[in-house]
Amino acid sequence: MRALRRPVGLVGVALLALVLFAAAFGPVLWGDRAAAVDTADLLAGPSAEHWIGTDNLGRDLFARVLVAARLSILLALAATAIGMVLGFLLGAAPMLLGRRLGRLITAAVNVLVAFPGLLLVLFFAVVFGVGARGAALAVGLAGAPAFARLCHTLIAGVSERDYVAAARIAGVGRVRMLWRHVLPNIAEPVIVYATMTAGAALLTFAGLSFLGLGVQAPDYDWGKLMQDGLNGIYVHPLAALGPGIAVVLAGLAFNLTGEAFAAGPRRTHVLPPAGPPSPATTPAATTVLSADDLRVTIPGPNGPIHAVRGVSLTVGDGEAVGVVGESGSGKSVTALAVAGLLEPPVRVEAGHLAVAGEDLLAPGASRRLGTALAVVFQDPMTSFNPAHRVGPQLAEVSRFHQGMGRRAAFARAVDRLRAVRIGDPARRARQYPFEFSGGMRQRAMIGMGLMGEPRLIVADEPTTALDVTVQRQVLDLLADVRRDTGAALLLISHDVSVVTDVCDRVLVMYAGRVVEELPAKDLRALARHPYTRALVAAVPDMETDLDRPLAVIPGLPVDPVEAPAGCAFAPRCPLADDHCRAVPPPLLDGVACHKAGEAQ
Amino acid sequence: MKTPTSGVKVGRWPRFALRRAARLLASLWVLVTASFLMIHLVPGDPVRAALGPTAPADLVLAHKEELGLLDPLWQQYATFLGHLLQGDLGVSIASRLPVGEVIAQQLPATAELALLAFLLAVAVAVPVGVVMAVLTRRGRGRRAELAFTGTNVVVSAIPDFLLGVGLVYLLAVQTHVFPVAGRAGPDSYVLPVLALAVGPAAVLSRIVRVEMLAVMEADYVRTARAKRLTPVRVHVVHALPNAVTATLTIGGLALSSLVAGTVLVENVFAWPGLGSSIVSSIVAKDYPLVQGTVLVYGVGVLLINTLVDVALALLDPRSAIGEA
Amino acid sequence: MSTLTFHEVSVRYGTHTVLHEVSLEVPEGETVGLVGESGCGKSTLARAAVGLAPVTSGAILLDGRPVPTRGRRPVQMVFQDPYSSLDPRMTVGESIAEALPGRPARRERQQEIARLLALVHLDPGRAGDLPGQLSGGQRQRVALARALAARPQVILADEITSALDVSVQGAVLNLIRDMRRELGLSMLFISHDLAVVRYVADHLAVLHAGRIVEHGPAARVLGDPRHDYTRHLLASAHPLKEHT
């Protein structure tokens, strides 16, 4: 009932309760009044006695609108039920009947779904004849294909999940699978859709009756009342608009309720006002990247997430610095902050944050960086724009920042693709990203960074999504690029061996802080922080002793919403004492640990 | 899969054309067969129902003879297909006029209405959706978001014919700005087009916004920002084309339902189009005319769907080779 | 425990051949590591053995008889993604119970669930938890317990640690080694990570573009690779050697 806490949901449910109340008790409470003929008061306008006037027999229209609720709602619900049951059976057919028959049914549904609902309704209305029952069948059947498509998509989505495969392997039958695994996992969207369909069916019915194809006199629903009222719209418009308003309110009741449940609890808390700013500091002159006391806060559903909690780092000209850590350590967020790619509502604070001489905390600085900073992202499959060809995506950098013409920029793009060892670059530049393999895309991404003259390359897990043999090529390429251009490198990775392989200096991050900073060559042997040592030992490499169990870090990583008071690693640390749990250790002499260097 | 070869490229378009044409033909066949069967699915005697209980028996028989209803079913089907291929849709029971002629007379009015409404809906929805997405991305502009979604839900709960009635009341009956009904000068188009366009515009703008919001979170938009381009360039050149794909899909559906929506709106405005005639012919049980009109609507919808798919394939080359 | 044999297994989807006449044996009580890059067909091989991928030609045999691909399989599989391998709407206990053979009485069932959870080093009290309350590593243990619940003769582990954080991966690998020692499990252990496979496998098979290019005892394949592709893989996995 989370949906009720949202104002939209509250309004929707309240309206729905009102509409259902009218449907349930309308005929009992106002039935007599709605049927009372008053020949002295025909086609009267609104008055204190008849709020929206009377019809051609002098019957009170307001009462008639209330009474019509029952038939309108019942017909809509009946049609929805017909559509849902039929649609669900059709949608579940591929799962229940096997591949071949299922595919046939799916193809048929796909053909039917192309025709708009109203056209199907008209078709079935011809077949079933004019009248309430025919209309209910028509609206129901017409809704079935769309619902079948939805069920099919949802079921197919759930069927792809591994737990369905696991259940199949465990010998679970088709019907039980549908009942136990599929239905509970698609119930929510199905109910939401059904609610909205009921709203739509209500409107369709009103339309049908309005056209004279639905409910026939002497019965009446809202559409019929509107049809009757339309003729007199010049004299008294409320006769047509009154039932219309009822239709809209009822439709809204269904839609708002569905909407509120569909949206779910997406509420994120607004960040509290910023604390006192870190004292402003100035970067050293010879560094290409300098950050002091960097803090990044992201609004989350359970309160602000302190992703980075006071990181200071510098990268000298031409230096290669690595950042390692597990997921949730804040390493990627640090990279994005340094690259100036975080936007509000994410909050970035720092004493100073300077890249290639630009103060990134100043407004608009990110754009002034121009081509001085190149960025390589983790997933090469999604980092290129699928709608544009590769060459122009590279050329855009030169056209925008270096004022080159279309042709010159494209020529440079081809040249840069060649520089990152992409074969036949002139042809490749005219291809779309999906025609490139993962490794090629990552090289093209590096090529994009080389369109200008970068002083710093920020690479966020550049090899994680690639195969081992391709990883090697990309790392080698990065090394070559650094040698050729003299650019500095900030390499983010979870993989200790990648970082030690490429970088001069390594920062180890845990729970949004740097816990240790040391030369890359010392990482394996001379680390002093218990976390660094455990991290190195936990990963098997080609020299790991096969006779001993792997080192294990007990416990779970810190929830970044609740940053602990003391050392974040203390709950998992074999050396931790009360002092560790109470006082956060500062980063002194390259390590942030009260017990630095002690044996475990 | 790792190294896509250039072989993929050869024959991509012919294969797409073939597949799409096959689907169009299958859908057409379903449509034609359904409209053929329609008259046979009607319970009881359709001709008797059309002519009324007082019609003499030999007149009913003569009509049946004329409609070919006395032949075996397969032969009727073959004749129906044969006539259809020659563009012969039969003769209206009520007016005795050739159905093709009646439809040809009314089709332009309906097509005009649908097309104008569609253009208006797109012209309003796309900019509104994009601007709203940019304003409300990542939980910004809470109030703007609430106002937008609130208006949207309310507007989409108002059926087009009801909107038509409301517009007639406000702008024709009360203020006499526009004519109440009929198709005459340009000002007679305003209300029906508006009534038809508002609903799809609301749906479409919502889709555009949702798509834009999703696309703006995509990695390649981050890449575009990493190139230090201006926000306008990032949104228009990099985000929008990727949101267009889904928008076009939904837009196509909106256009086809808009075609069907003309039925109701035409009845409100006494618009001399197909919609007015299909309703009166359903009530009058003039089956050949209903059959022909349903066919024309259906073919229109199928053509729209095919056009949308071709446009999609041109805009997004993956969709042409994907969906295998 | 039994021997699982792949005999010239081919899997073809339309014109695309994923596996070319792959022959491989998982001997009783031993662990065979299968390495290869993404798209080489290693997951397909495992899925074929449990009837999740259609075998175009060849045979998959368990102790000389075709592996059944309906009902409760004697070969069980553990999947890569811990976030998709457990039904989010079923408790840990229900997921495990579903795989138990027969229809044990309530009490018996609970005892068995507790025993299996203890076996994978999880607190039996967590049987009532939903997967959403568990971490990735804990979910993989539950998935392993579910596979064991079906009394399998062979277990297929498909990249079971690659979605886990490094600090958690070690614990799962230790568990796999413990279980092989204590239960004498036959296992096909699939991974793209040579170092991980090296740690758990007795035998090693290298799959490249749908073909087994090399197989043999793990120590031999790693120490004295005979196929160019294996050497290439090994060189890529040894970044440290060139630089230090």
Residues of A in contact with B267 (CB under 8 A): 210-211
Over residues A288-315, the mean pLDDT reads: 88
- Min mean pLDDT across A549-563, B265-279, C52-66, C125-139 is at A549-563
Residues of A in contact with C80 (CB under 8 A): 162
Chain C 164-223, residues with CB within 8 Å of chain A CB atoms: 165-167, 169-171, 173-174, 177, 192-196, 198-199, 222
What is the C-alpha to C-alpha distance for residues C116 and A240, in angstroms, rounded to an integer?
69
Q: Are A598 and A575 in contact (CB under 8 A)?
A: yes
Q: What is the pLDDT of residue C57?
A: 92
Q: What is the pLDDT of residue A463?
A: 85
Residues of C in contact with B4 (CB under 8 A): none
What is the C-alpha to C-alpha distance for residues C23 and C213, in angstroms, rounded to an integer?
11
pLDDT band with cut points at 50, 70 and 90 for residue A74: very high
Amino acid letter, residue A413: A
Q: What is the pLDDT of residue A175?
A: 87
Domain assignment of residue A172, yes or no: yes
This complex has an ipTM of 0.89
Q: What is the pLDDT of residue B315?
A: 74
Q: Minimal Cα distance from A446: which residue of B?
A: B223
Based on the fold, state whether residues A317 and A383 are members of the same structural domain: yes
Is residue B1 within 8 angstroms of chain C, CB to CB? yes
Cβ within 8 Å, pair C167-A553: yes
Q: What is the pLDDT of residue B5?
A: 41
The first and second tokens of residue A334, run together, are 């640090």
* Nearest residue to C168 via CA among C205, C208, C135: C135
Q: What is the pLDDT of residue B324?
A: 34
What is the C-alpha to C-alpha distance for residues A238 and A349, in angstroms, rounded to an integer?
60
Nearest CB to B223; choose among A116, A373, A384:
A384
Based on the fold, state whether residues A245 and A343 are members of the same structural domain: no
CATH (domain of A33): 1.10.3720.10
Q: How confident is the model over A376-412, as pLDDT tens digits? A: 888 888 889 888 899 999 999 888 888 888 899 999 9
Q: What is the pLDDT of residue A269?
A: 62
Over residues B17-29, the mean pLDDT reads: 87
Based on the fold, state whether residues A236 and A317 are members of the same structural domain: no
Nearest CB to A118; choose among B34, B139, B257:
B257
Over residues A245-261, the mean pLDDT reads: 86
Based on the fold, state whether residues A7 and A113 are members of the same structural domain: yes
Q: Are B258 and B200 in contact (CB under 8 A)?
A: yes
Residues of C in contact with B2 (CB under 8 A): 37-39
Spell out the domain ranges in chain C.
85-151
Nearest-neighbour CA in chain C from B1: distance (Å): 7
Cβ within 8 Å, pair B41-A400: no
For residues A222-247, one letter each, b for 16 or more C-beta atoms within 10 angstroms of the residue's C-beta and e for the rest, the string is bbbbbbbbbebbeebbbbbbbbbbbb
Based on the fold, state whether residues A356 and A491 are members of the same structural domain: yes
* Nearest residue to B239 via CA among A431, A396, A382, A387: A387
Domain assignment of residue A541, yes or no: no
Question: Last residue of some domain: A262, A279, A313?
Answer: A262
The residue among C212 and A525 whose pLDDT is bigger is: C212
Whether pLDDT at B222 is above 80? yes
Based on the fold, state whether residues A94 and A161 are members of the same structural domain: yes
Domain assignment of residue A144, yes or no: yes
Q: What is the pLDDT of residue C90?
A: 92
Nearest-neighbour CA in chain B from C220: distance (Å): 29
Nearest CB to A126; choose among B158, B219, B290:
B290
Is residue B171 within 8 angstroms of chain A, CB to CB? no
Based on the fold, state whether residues A161 and A229 are members of the same structural domain: yes
pLDDT band with cut points at 50, 70 and 90 for residue B160: confident
Q: What is the pLDDT of residue A364?
A: 76
Nearest CB to A387; choose among B26, B294, B316:
B316
- Min mean pLDDT across A124-133, B41-50, C79-88 is at B41-50
User: Best mutation site among C67, C161, C166 for testing chain A: the one with the most A CBs within 10 Å?
Assistant: C166
Over residues B102-107, the mean pLDDT reads: 89
Q: What is the pLDDT of residue B9?
A: 45
Based on the fold, state whether residues A306 and A210 are members of the same structural domain: no
Whether pLDDT at B280 is above 80? yes
Amino acid letter, residue B194: L
pLDDT band with cut points at 50, 70 and 90 for residue A266: low
Question: Last residue of some domain: A507, A524, A541?
Answer: A524
What is the number of domains present in chain A?
Answer: 2
Based on the fold, state whether residues A163 and A210 are members of the same structural domain: yes
The first and second tokens of residue A249, run together, are 């309110």
The first and second tokens of residue A439, run together, are 């490794």
Domain assignment of residue A419, yes or no: no
Whether pLDDT at A3 is above 70? no
Domain assignment of residue A276, yes or no: no
Q: Minimal Cα distance from B3: which residue of C?
A: C39
Domain assignment of residue A547, yes or no: no
Q: Print the domain residue range for A99.
A: 2-262
* Average pLDDT along chain A: 85
Q: What is the pLDDT of residue A4?
A: 60
CA distances from A297 to A51, A122, A309, A345, A346 (A): 57, 56, 8, 9, 6
For residues A399-436, one letter each, b for 16 or more C-beta atoms within 10 angstroms of the residue's C-beta and e for the rest, the string is bbbeebeeeebbbbbbbbbbbbebeebeebbebbbbbb
Is residue B96 within 8 angstroms of chain C, CB to CB? no
The first and second tokens of residue A360, run together, are 């990134």
* Nearest residue to A482 via CA among A448, A457, A512: A457
Strands (DSSP E) found in A81-204: none
Based on the fold, state whether residues A254 and A299 are members of the same structural domain: no
Percent of chain B with pLDDT over 70: 94
Torsion sign across C-alpha atoms B16, B17, B22, B23: positive
- Radius of gyration for chain B, computed over Cα atoms and rounded to the nearest angstrom: 24
pLDDT truncated to tens, each residue of chain C (244 aa)?
A: 689 999 999 998 877 888 999 999 999 989 999 998 888 888 999 999 998 888 999 999 998 899 887 888 899 999 988 888 899 989 999 999 999 988 888 899 999 999 999 888 888 888 998 988 888 888 998 999 999 998 898 999 998 888 887 777 888 898 888 888 888 889 999 998 888 999 999 999 999 989 999 999 999 999 899 999 999 888 887 654 443 3
Domain assignment of residue A421, yes or no: no
Over residues A145-152, the mean pLDDT reads: 89
Q: What is the pLDDT of residue A130?
A: 80
Chain B 283-322, residues with CB within 8 Å of chain A CB atoms: 283, 287, 290, 294, 297-298, 301-302, 305, 315-318
Q: What is the pLDDT of residue B11?
A: 65
Whether pLDDT at A509 is above 90? yes
**Cis previous bond, B46, omega within 30:** no
Chain C 106-125, residues with CB within 8 Å of chain A CB atoms: none
Q: What is the pLDDT of residue C243?
A: 39
Residues of C in contact with B1 (CB under 8 A): 39
Nearest CB to C98; choose among A170, A475, A553:
A170
pLDDT band with cut points at 50, 70 and 90 for residue A329: confident
Q: How confident is the model over A270-297, as pLDDT tens digits? A: 677 666 666 777 777 678 899 999 999 9
Q: What is the pLDDT of residue C34?
A: 94
Based on the fold, state whether residues A96 and A222 are members of the same structural domain: yes
Q: Minimal Cα distance from C158: which residue of A?
A: A162
Q: Which DSSP state fits A588? A: B
H-type helices in chain B, by residue range?
12-41, 46-51, 57-67, 73-85, 99-136, 142-156, 160-167, 187-216, 219-226, 231-233, 240-268, 274-283, 287-315, 317-321
Based on the fold, state whether residues A478 and A518 are members of the same structural domain: yes
Terminal CA-to-CA distance of chain B, rounded, Å? 15
What is the C-alpha to C-alpha distance for residues A222 and A249, in angstroms, rounded to an integer?
12
Helix axes B142-156, B99-136, angle to 10 degrees: 160
Q: How confident is the model over A83-126, as pLDDT tens digits? A: 999 999 998 888 888 778 888 888 888 888 878 888 888 888 88
* Nearest residue to A493 via CA among A471, A519, A470: A471
Nearest-neighbour CA in chain A from C24: distance (Å): 21
Nearest-neighbour CA in chain A from B49: distance (Å): 11
Over residues B134-151, the mean pLDDT reads: 82
Question: Last residue of some domain: A524, A553, A586?
Answer: A524
Classify strands A488-493 and A456-460 as parallel, antiparallel or unpaired: parallel
Q: Which residues are B148's β-sheet partners?
A: none
